[in-house]
């Protein structure tokens, strides 16, 4: 079973992103708001994915397959009212870990979130984020992309 082990933080101080890779992302959710499992369509630049994510916080099931643009467009209309648009910056941290910093667009602007993945749950719990990271929102469901796509910016 594929699992994702990550923590998610708000941004206290936006870093210099000039060395990070930038991708334009649009994603939409095919599952109902009350489903515990997420089924998501994602376009990342010119690549398309179908992703299943299970319930969870720091650790959860994640399965992803690349799909064609035609397959994406076939199902995209079904995500109406459950979509997120953002720019994703991927870069390295001084400790060697990789970050993904999302700059949300549209109704979710000016939200910034950063995610860091880990090899183990204990590594995730022991992690000490840099000073420019803000509050840890890993366990706050309001900051899950699916919930923001449905409910908007957390208050």
Of 29, 48, 89, 143, the catalytic one is 29
DSSP-H helix ranges across the chain? 69-75, 121-126, 145-151
Sign of CA dihedral 9, 12, 13, 14: positive
Q: In a 10 Å sphere around its CB, with 0-12 CB exposed, 13-18 middle and 19+ buried, how is residue 140 labelled?
A: middle
Contact 141, 24 (CB under 8 A): no
Q: Is 29 a catalytic residue?
A: yes
Give me the active site residues, please.
29
């Amino acid at each position: 079973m594929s699992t994702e082990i990550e923590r998610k933080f708000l941004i206290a101080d936006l870093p210099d992103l000039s060395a990070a890779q930038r991708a334009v992302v649009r994603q939409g959710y095919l599952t109902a708001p009350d489903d515990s499992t997420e089924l998501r369509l994602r376009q990342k630049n010119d690549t398309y994915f179908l992703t299943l994510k299970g319930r969870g916080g720091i650790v959860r099931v994640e399965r992803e397959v690349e799909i064609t643009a035609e397959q994406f467009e076939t199902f995209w209309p079904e995500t109406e009212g459950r979509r997120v648009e953002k720019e994703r910056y991927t870069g390295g941290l001084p400790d060697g870990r990789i970050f993904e910093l999302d700059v949300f667009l549209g109704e979710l602007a000016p939200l910034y979130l950063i995610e860091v993945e880990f090899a183990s749950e204990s590594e995730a719990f022991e992690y000490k984020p840099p000073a420019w990271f803000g509050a840890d929102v890993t366990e706050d469901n309001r900051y899950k992309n699916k919930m923001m796509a449905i409910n908007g910016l957390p208050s």
